Structure 1
């Protein structure tokens, strides 16, 4: 891919061609839209009426659960979401697609995490379409999990959560592991064959694809269906709505946003983003702490 250009290479206003005929604006949350205090910048809300008037659908795309995203945005008229890192796509209250994790794999992840708790300060969140579930109930872990999962239940046994084996295959959308020290260190140590006796969840039966193990932040590891990612979810949404890449703007910062960069001709990696995401994007946006998404949208919209 060509070297991404700075966002300032965009023309100054719509009359100069800065404003494409956008139909989708897809926004990662942490490190992208949200500021340094995990808040949506106030100036972003001022742009919503402009985008709504032009028929642009704003799509939060996050590792956060659907209930959390809905709570953040539904009161502002936003009703389309790529939740749980793309394993659940919802448009105007209707499910567009889901990508569940195999029930046997979920059982394996539960056991691996329980065993690892003797050596690492970690906790597991099982993410289902109706809510999220944890066994660990200390205040420190629940505070971290509660930031991303508004519908969160403490249960005595994650193996017994109905979603694990519901319908035979299960409907767990994602297994999220929080490591208080380093997700980048924990992922290979526990889930990707990094040591003796360590599972490699990427390998399935008879060489078939297993599951993805994605470091989605400094402390979070997401384990998902092998085919699930925000890029695939965005393609499914685009097909459902009849929206092409040329009418799609995408903003992201971390590795769980990587595939999404290819699905919008107007792709922006944040200046604070991971180098791999920056290489995959067409443009570099200002940092999230500088309201980078707002700055770029104003330029794209010519307002």
Structure 2
């Protein structure tokens, strides 16, 4: 469980950050990290990204969200950013694709069947079939559609997910109206041992190819851009962010992060409700060589 606000660790003071930082890439998760608890973009994000651009630092949101959703939420700030979407299954720089990991037709069909079995056994779950340019759902009740629409800007309701195109499926996202980590994640993991089942939020689970991760997408982007882990900062709060920390020496967990994320990161940023990402980025920019 995420520690309550009163039990949060203290953020790393700015004077404890390294001097002479050679920062070229700043990667941030969205929900629980960059966005506040109401899903709002920090008021000073535009100013911060402008300062980053002036110093040659690339802004890189890395999220379980759909690419179209990232562009909708971030507006013009997404135009020349590195966008890592669908938990690392898809990454673009501007309009150019630089990385993808496709789940595959057979695997996608097995996941859909497994989610249907869980629902039939009484779990309050639903699946989102996430493709490169469209997400599809077959569950039609308003509460589920509302949750899916929050994270998928291009969303289509179909009668049968198994009858939809499955060739470019990046992942299947599962929404669990109960607690995902203790509820549907264990049976999904047991039923799909050859796939990656990642708890990406309190109610969300992403099921992907075994090789897919935000960290793998970040590695591909670093190779494409010629940027080293020593020149990379990452910010995250949940389990789907863990692989990012293998690719950055400036690794920050939000003060509100899952305990496993707090244990992995080198530094702690203020909580998402305290503007932790932008506050820390400004401190890093001030300490650049």
TM-score after normalising by structure 1: 0.87
Q: Distance in 2 between matches of 1:53 and 1:65?
A: 28
SS of the residue corresponding to residue 59 of structure 2 reads: strand
Structural mapping, 1:262-281, within 5 Å: 262-281=246-265
8 Å Cα contact 1:87/1:100 also seen in 2: yes
Instruction: Select 1:290's aligned residue among 253, 274, 278.
Output: 274
Residue 66 of structure 2 corresponds to residue 65 of structure 1: yes
Partner of 2:5: none
- Larger of the two Rg values belongs to structure: 1
Instruction: Select 1:86's aligned residue among 85, 88, 93.
Output: 88
Q: Distance in 2 between matches of 1:261 and 1:249?
A: 9
How far apart are 1:102 and its partner, in Å?
Answer: 2.4
Q: Distance in 2 between matches of 1:188 and 1:65?
A: 21
Instruction: Select 2:111's aligned residue among 109, 112, 120.
Output: 109
8 Å Cα contact 1:18/1:299 also seen in 2: no
SS of the residue corresponding to residue 243 of structure 1 reads: coil
Q: Distance in 2 between matches of 1:42 and 1:266?
A: 24
How far apart are 1:72 and its partner, in Å?
Answer: 2.1
How far apart are 1:55 and its partner, in Å?
Answer: 1.3
Structural mapping, 1:131-146, within 5 Å: 131-146=134-149
Partner of 2:3: none
8 Å Cα contact 2:123/2:184 also seen in 1: no
Partner of 1:206: none
8 Å Cα contact 2:41/2:74 also seen in 1: no
How far apart are 1:187 and its partner, in Å?
Answer: 3.3
Which sits farther off after the overlay, 119-128 or 97-106? 97-106
How far apart are 1:186 and its partner, in Å?
Answer: 3.0
Closer/same/farther in 2, CA of residues 172 and 91 from structure 1, 3 Å limit: same
Partner of 1:184: 181
Q: Distance in 1 between matches of 2:119 and 2:44?
A: 42
8 Å Cα contact 1:19/1:301 also seen in 2: no
SS of the residue corresponding to residue 136 of structure 2 reads: strand
Q: Distance in 2 between matches of 1:250 and 1:59?
A: 9
TM-score after normalising by structure 2: 0.91
Partner of 2:224: 240
SS of the residue corresponding to residue 7 of structure 1 reads: coil
Q: Distance in 2 between matches of 1:48 and 1:70?
A: 15
Q: Distance in 2 between matches of 1:6 and 1:114?
A: 42
How far apart are 1:190 and its partner, in Å?
Answer: 2.9
How far apart are 1:121 and its partner, in Å?
Answer: 1.1
Closer/same/farther in 2, CA of residues 9 and 79 from structure 1, 3 Å limit: closer
Question: What per-residue deviation string (whole Å, max 9, x for no partner) do you get for residues 80-115 of structure 1?
Answer: 200000000111111111111121121111112122
How far apart are 1:184 and its partner, in Å?
Answer: 1.2
8 Å Cα contact 1:65/1:148 also seen in 2: yes
Structural mapping, 1:1-303, within 5 Å: 6-8=11-13, 10-11=15-16, 18=19, 20-76=21-77, 77-118=79-120, 119-162=122-165, 164=166, 170-193=167-190, 199=191, 201-202=192-193, 210-302=194-286
Question: What per-residue deviation string (whole Å, max 9, x for no partner) do you get for residues 1-28 of structure 1?
Answer: xxx994215458xxxx645121110010
Q: Which runs of 5+ in 1 are unaligned?
A: 165-169, 194-198, 203-209
